[in-house]
Amino acid sequence: MPETFLDSLVSADPAAVTPAARQQATTHASASRKPDVMVPIRSLGENHRARIASHLKALDKHDRYYRFGFSASDDQIDRYVNGLDFERDEIFGIYNRSLALIAVAHLAYAPDTGANRSAEFGVSVLPRSRGRHFGSRLFERAVMHARNVGVGKMYVHVLSENTAMLRIAGHAGATFVRDGAETEGYLSLPPATFNSHLTEMVEEKLAQVDYQFKVQARQFRHTLANIQQAWRGTDSAEKSG
């Protein structure tokens, strides 16, 4: 039976939710909502394949189970990553200052069935970068992109114990259908607007600029380290000479 996110948070039995408890949960949820900070999320292409594989392999067994529904081995991750179709699907990522891929989301489109396009969302954030709303931001970004390409429904398959993912989808207004250990969440998306197209375009451009800055900063750090090493080499050669 469909269950709202609020119900699942407050009680296993929706009928037992009192207005006071509902109010408390709503207040808690809105009080802990993320600050309005822009996170540079960029669309990833073919040249990021190896880094996507490294990102996923950095997840432990438990996280892989949450992400894929089974504890994927490194070989299975390689097969998944090699099978990613960057032309058909959309892959989003967040890079940190050292150019480590700390979060990845995959928006996979269902085979085109005409008017009712749908897509499935999957995401992972490296443990050390969690709790900073990167998962939520990637979900929002995927929703915006899905709308902009005419998707009407976005699905997420989650293990019922995966509170963080349930919260992410729940805040966005997903409806959940629980089936034992698994829960399917779905979100009906409104049609795209001029504003949603413009926002996505601007966010993508900013994320690409941010990425280029990080690449240049890393090159600068390498150059600086090489110069320092060369100086040290000259210094010790002079002393010994």
Ligand X SMILES: CC(C)(COP(=O)(O)OP(=O)(O)OC[C@H]1O[C@@H](n2cnc3c(N)ncnc32)[C@H](O)[C@@H]1OP(=O)(O)O)[C@@H](O)C(=O)NCCC(=O)NCCS
Q: Which residues bind ligand X (CB under 6 A)?
A: 29, 32-33, 63, 66-67, 122-125, 130-136, 158, 162-165, 167-168, 171
Tell me whether residue 94 is exposed, middle or buried, using C-beta atoms within 10 angstroms of its C-beta: 0 to 12, 13 to 18, 19 or more: buried
Closer by beta carbon to ligand X, 89 or else 235: 89
Is 162 in contact with 66 (CB distance < 8 Å)? yes
CA 196 – CA 97 distance, rounded (Å): 28
Q: Which residue is nearest to ligand X (CB)?
A: 135
Q: Which among 174, 186, 118 has a CA at the least distance from the CA of 147?
A: 118
Could you tell me how far CA 145 lies from the centroid of its own chain?
Answer: 13
**C-alpha span between 211 and 94 (Å, rounded):** 9
Nearest distance in Å: CB 195, ligand X: 23
Minimum Å gap between C-beta 120 and ligand X is 9
Query: What is the closest distance, in whole angstroms, from the C-beta atom of residue 225 to ligand X in the complex?
Result: 32
Beta carbon nearer to ligand X, 125 or 143: 125
> In terms of CB distance, is 94 or 151 closer to ligand X?
94
The nearer residue to ligand X, 108 or 164, going by C-beta atoms, is 164
Minimum CB distance to ligand X, residue 109 (Å): 16
